[in-house]
Amino acid sequence: MSATGLRHPGLNLGPAHGDAHEAAEEIVFGFWVFLMSDLVLFSAIFATFATMVDATAGGPDGHTLFDFKSAAIETGALLLSSFTFGMASVSMKHGRETRSVALWLGVTLLLAFVFLGLEINDFLSMLAKGGSPERSGFLSAVWLLVATHGTHVTFGCLWIVVMLIQVLKLGLTSDVKLRLLRLALFWHFLDIVWVGIFSFVYLRGLA
Amino acid sequence: MSWWFLIFGKLSYGAFPFTYSIIATMAAGMVVLGFIATVGLITVMGKWTYLWTEWFTSVDHKKIGIMYVIIAMVMLLRAVIEANMMRLQQSMSYDSPGYLPPDHFSQLFTTHGTIMVFFMGMPFLIGIINFAMPLQIGARDVSFPVMNSVSLGMTFGGAALMMASLCLGKFSTGGWSGYPPYTEATFQPGVGPDYWIWALTLSGISTTMTGINFAVTIYKKRCPGMTLFRMPLFTWTALCTSILMIFAMPPLTVVTTMLALDRYLGMHFFTNAAGGDMMNFVNLFWLFGHPEVYILILPAFGVYSEVVANFSGKKLYGYKSLVLATMCIAVLSFTVWLHHFFTMGQSGMVNAFYGVSTMLIGIPTGVKIFDWILTMFQGRVRLQTPMLYAIAFIVLFTIGGTSGIILANPGIDYQVHNSLFLVAHFHNVLIPGTLFGMLAAYHYWFPKAFGFRLDERWGRLAVACWTVGFMMAFFPLYALGLLGMPRREVEYFNPAYQPWTIIAELGALVIMAGIGCLFIQIVVSIRRRAQNSVPVGDPWNGRTLEWSVRAPAPEYNFAVIPTVDSVDAWHARKERGEAYRVEPQYFDILLPKNSALGPVIGVGGAAAAFGLVWHIWWLVIVAMLVIIGAVIARGFVTDSERVIPAEEVRRQEVAWLGTVRRTPPVPRDKETAESNEGLAEVQAA
Amino acid sequence: MSSADQEYRADLRSYVIGLVVAVILTAIPFYAVGFGGYGVRTDFYIIGLCALVQIPMHFRFFLHIDLSRSKRDDLQLILFSFLIVVLMVGGTLWILGSEKMRMM
């Protein structure tokens, strides 16, 4: 890593980025603190899910409702999108053309759409099989957990769109870089939460 | 789907209070009149532009802090009136229906608790920390000033929603903790619990953002030389409080969202049927609720540390132990939440574990009490208003804390859970603890904010009324709880209770007199502000950095960011004779520009919440789009800073230092005299 | 190779390794559940273990957080957050589990 030491989580810009690198310490730390609060939020929902895993009230359970193939492709898409965002971060840090950053952001967005599309499809098929969230406590917990994550991803996509506009219109200014640093943290965090979801909701349900 | 419902949701003629209750109509009338009077006054005085540019869009932590405290004081008035109404009812209702129907009484205890916790306690302490903490650490502002303004906006929105609930519809009757299944749609299909849910949501998100803001500020914006262990105690407690905010608010967001999903979409998180688990509500709520009460008390502990040291003329005894105790309390506060529901049905082993951890948390608190007493010992104690609050606190809080340790024993708690013994305990820690701390802070830092001291005589009268009133209103409740009287009772049939409820009612009236004293105090103080002005800025002979700048504090806080080398840095500088020096060089100062984002999100949030309460879906959608749009638009602002030129800084500083030179210093026995212009006579070390 | 180039490659490598490790740790539990035909208990262990390993890997390779960080604030924060999560989730499971048992 950079010889001057890391100042904050995520990819550090390094002293060549001047102002942005200086300001990043405080700003990215603040966003990291927010992500920790978000982690606690997800933990509370996870804990609730864990206690409601058997509360199917005679309704359908994971075996009936979850689709292995869909879960696999979603997971792959999201994981790949984390990697492609990393490529955007590296491009930004190492002074590659703004077009390259925009390209990687675009690919990330497409992969995110694949993820969201499949997830919406999952929800629709669950509804078709009688797995609506009002059916049982178990289903309420599943829907809340997955949809909270999905809502975060959706807002992340909106943020990516805004950043695409900013990168192309304003270029890689200090402010834009600081926003991309935070978005990167957000995006990787969401993939971490998904590891929890595909493991303990989908695979556990299908086992 | 009728057209009425599409436009107005569930709003109907029956939502107006005059269709069902005279008392409720009077309350709504007061809100409406108050609103008209305020808006009218501002309009007549032509102050809208001034308010918008100087206050509502300000991102200055000092102004934001002041606005928070104003919200807190208005809401304090409402909640104390509600308390008085309940005390009156209970003093009358032995074998009699009293004057309040049960439904109204239930709304009162619900709003009283909700307001006192979320819209009085939290805004008050957030306002005080906002004002004082950046000054104490030698910073120009918090780390995220615009987010600070957004937090204020959302808290204001939540408070506005609470006030709207007086005028339209009824509030929840489920208590401030809102347990299902009673708060589910099956039992309360009206708008009450929805008002409660969305007011809490607005407050909760606001507080989470504030916690992040304060924590990052304290971690990253301390002036050079101020290591963590050279920070004032108040800043330490602010840090621990903000950490609690960050981690405690998410469970509240989760639990209220789940209840909302049950109510709005028929889900089954907490319902009786289909696999719901209402005990998880209680669990999640108190996962939030317990750290919440430590959020309420820690800043007060910090205030007392400052006040006791300052008005004893001594450095704080046991600084390290106070810091360690604060940290222990912060961590332990996440390990005790089950003591709020010992009786819910889990095994004795579980109860024992949490009972022990609850008792453990009393130890660091005890350490603090001793540290404060030892600070006073062999000091030269000056009995100004803040110190009087502190002394009342030390005595009364010890009693309240002890009753908490009694409750920490699950076996005992089974007897007194949800009785007035519990109500006595938590008021005993919250009033002499949190409220007195905030009132002391208000009196202590008021001169720094506004440039003149508050009237001391009315201040002391207020302390007397609050102290006596508190004891009369709440000590009887210990007896009542042990006699078996449950909480939240609208009518009772045991004659043994009434003498106590009558004393309690008299106490409530004395507390009302205390509020009156505070009101008179501010009126008198404003009238006499010229005589009580303290432009030099150090009326109390303070020890920490905020007292090193003039009063009112300049918008940039410090002309030059100070460098410190010890705790009590201002005191050290005065002792060395290095105070009030002209700096060799002044620099341009960069400050953030004002922003409309705070007010926009405040109004948007309140509108979205109102729409959710009344099922006005178009309003919810529009408000959410406005909020999201405003945030995105803010992201495109490139010109967000302004410069105060070095020459201007120099001009202001030199003018102030000229005043300092012309001002005679006063010894401490003239502290409350008109001759105190804010310059302290410094005894040679 | 200039130090900027070296750093570029190091950064790239971090993400590539992260991706490869994550893919493997994802494929294993998916395979186990979808095609492995192991018992439910074995599946649970495999899923749990792989998740428990994959999450720190994300932290290390995507978020660049390792033990050699020069700033202690961030590490303190992560450890504290982890403690809070353990207390909250663990406590919830213990409490509600106890209640469930006593309701049967």
The least confident of A5-14, B118-127, B414-423 is A5-14
**Buried/exposed code over B573-589 (b: 16+ C-beta within 10 A; e: otherwise):** bbeeeebbeeeeebeeb
DSSP state of A199: I
Interface residue A41 vs chain C (CB under 8 A): no
Q: State the total domains in chain C.
A: 2
Q: What is the ipTM of this complex?
A: 0.95
Q: Do C98 and B284 touch (CB under 8 A)?
A: no
Q: Is C76 found in the same domain as C31?
A: no
pLDDT at C17 over 80: yes
* DSSP letter for each residue of B83-120: HHHHHHHHHH-BTS--SS-HHHHHHHHHHHHHIIIIII
Tell me what pLDDT residue B620 has: 98
Cα dihedral A106→A108→A111→A112 (10° resolution) = -100
- Tokens at residue A132, please? 């609506």
Tell me what pLDDT residue A97 has: 82
- Tokens at residue B25, please? 């109509």
Q: How far apart are CA A90 and CA A95, in angstroms?
A: 9
Chain B residue closest in CA terms to A162 = B632
Rg of chain A over Cα atoms, rounded to whole angstroms, equals: 19
* DSSP letter for each residue of B309-333: HHHTTSPPTTHHHHHHHHHHHHHHT
Of B208, B246, B275, the CB nearest to A138: B275
Q: Do A133 and B273 touch (CB under 8 A)?
A: no
Q: Do A207 and C43 touch (CB under 8 A)?
A: yes
pLDDT at B196 over 90: yes
Residue B382 Cα to chain centre, angstroms: 27
Tell me what pLDDT residue C76 has: 80
Place of tokens 């074998």: B95
Please give the average per-residue pLDDT across B101-110, as a whole number.
97
Tell me what pLDDT residue A2 has: 41
Q: Of all residues in chain B, what percent carry a pLDDT higher than 90?
A: 98
Please give the average per-residue pLDDT across B537-566, as a whole number.
96
pLDDT at C68 over 80: no
Tell me what pLDDT residue B170 has: 96
DSSP state of B594: P
Residues 416-475 of B with CB under 8 A from C: none
pLDDT in tens, C84-102: 999 999 999 999 999 999 9
Chain A residue closest in CA terms to B247 = A37
Interface residue C48 vs chain A (CB under 8 A): yes
Q: Is C73 found in the same domain as C62?
A: no
Beta bridge partners of B419: B486
Q: Do A136 and B268 touch (CB under 8 A)?
A: yes
Of A26, A52, A179, the CB nearest to B277: A52
Q: Is C73 found in the same domain as C59?
A: no
Q: What crossing angle do the helices spanning B278-311 and B348-376 adopt, rounded to 10°?
A: 10
How far away is chain B from the Cα of C52, in angstroms, using its nearest Cα? 22
How far away is chain A from the Cα of C12, in angstroms, using its nearest Cα? 7
C88 CB neighbours in chain B (<8 A) are 251, 287, 334
pLDDT at A202 over 80: yes
- Cβ atoms of B410 and B352 within 8 Å: the answer is yes
Q: Is C5 found in the same domain as C24?
A: yes
Which residue segment(s) compose the domain that C86 sits in? 69-104
- Cβ atoms of B536 and B679 within 8 Å: the answer is yes
- Tokens at residue B284, please? 């999640």
- Tokens at residue B117, please? 């916790």
C101 CB neighbours in chain B (<8 A) are 347
Q: Do A40 and C34 touch (CB under 8 A)?
A: no
Domains, chain A, with CATH or none? 16-206 (1.20.120.80)
Sign for the CA dihedral angle at A140, A146, A149, A152 comes to: negative
The identity of residue A204, as a single letter, is: R
pLDDT class of A10 with cuts at 50, 70, 90: confident
Q: Do B345 and C103 touch (CB under 8 A)?
A: yes
Interface residue C99 vs chain B (CB under 8 A): yes
Burial class (CB within 10 angstroms; exposed 0-12, middle 13-18, buried 19+) of B552:
middle
pLDDT class of B269 with cuts at 50, 70, 90: very high
pLDDT at C103 over 90: no
pTM, entire model: 0.97
Q: What crossing angle do the helices spanning C3-31 and A68-93 adopt, rounded to 10°?
A: 170
pLDDT at B575 over 60: yes
Beta bridge partners of B592: B641
Q: Is C94 found in the same domain as C50?
A: no
pLDDT at A5 over 70: no
Q: How far apart are CA B358 and CA B603, in angstroms?
A: 40
B335 CB neighbours in chain C (<8 A) are 87, 91
Q: Is C42 found in the same domain as C10?
A: yes
- Cβ atoms of B638 and B495 within 8 Å: the answer is no
pLDDT at B290 over 90: yes
Chains that touch C (3 or more CB pairs under 8 A): A, B
Q: Of all residues in chain A, what percent carry a pLDDT higher than 70?
A: 98
Q: Do A137 and B219 touch (CB under 8 A)?
A: no
What are the C-alpha distances in Å from B552 to residues A98, B445, B453, B454, B656?
A: 48, 10, 11, 14, 11
User: If phi over 0 gives left and psi between -120 and 50 gives alpha, with beta otherwise, what is residue B642?
Assistant: beta
pLDDT at B685 over 50: no
pLDDT at B390 over 60: yes
Cα dihedral A71→A75→A77→A82 (10° resolution) = 160
pLDDT at C69 over 60: no
Q: Is C56 found in the same domain as C80?
A: no
pLDDT at B127 over 80: yes
Interface residue A22 vs chain B (CB under 8 A): no
Tell me what pLDDT residue A20 has: 87
Please give the average per-residue pLDDT across B441-470, as a whole number.
98
Please give the average per-residue pLDDT across B126-137, as a whole number.
98
Please give the average per-residue pLDDT across B180-187, as a whole number.
96
Q: Is C34 found in the same domain as C4?
A: yes
Q: Of all residues in chain A, what percent carry a pLDDT higher than 90?
A: 86
pLDDT at A45 over 80: yes
pLDDT at B364 over 50: yes
Residues in chain C: 104
Tell me what pLDDT residue A178 has: 95
Tell me what pLDDT residue C71 has: 55
Beta bridge partners of B680: B666
Q: Do B220 and A52 touch (CB under 8 A)?
A: no
How far away is chain B from the Cα of C22, in angstroms, using its nearest Cα? 29
Chains that touch A (3 or more CB pairs under 8 A): B, C
pLDDT in tens, B204-253: 999 999 999 999 999 999 999 999 999 999 999 999 999 999 999 999 99
Task: State the average pLDDT for chain B.
Answer: 97
pLDDT class of C5 with cuts at 50, 70, 90: confident
Tell me what pLDDT residue A1 has: 38
Please give the average per-residue pLDDT across B382-403, as a whole number.
98
- Tokens at residue A189, please? 């965090």
Q: Do C47 and A195 touch (CB under 8 A)?
A: no
DSSP state of B453: P
- Cβ atoms of B330 and B237 within 8 Å: the answer is no
Mutate to test the interface with A, among C15, C59, C79 (most CBs of A within 10 A): C15
Please give the average per-residue pLDDT across A64-77, as a whole number.
96
Residue A84 Cα to chain centre, angstroms: 13
Q: Do C81 and A2 touch (CB under 8 A)?
A: no
Please give the average per-residue pLDDT across C26-44, as a whole number.
92
Size of interface A-C (CB pairs under 8 A): 137
**Buried/exposed code over B357-387 (b: 16+ C-beta within 10 A; e: otherwise):** bbeebbebbebbbebbebbbeebebbebbbb
pLDDT at A4 over 60: no
The number of C-alpha atoms within 13 Å of B222 and in the hemisphere containing its C-beta is 19
Chains that touch B (3 or more CB pairs under 8 A): A, C
C22 CB neighbours in chain A (<8 A) are 79, 82
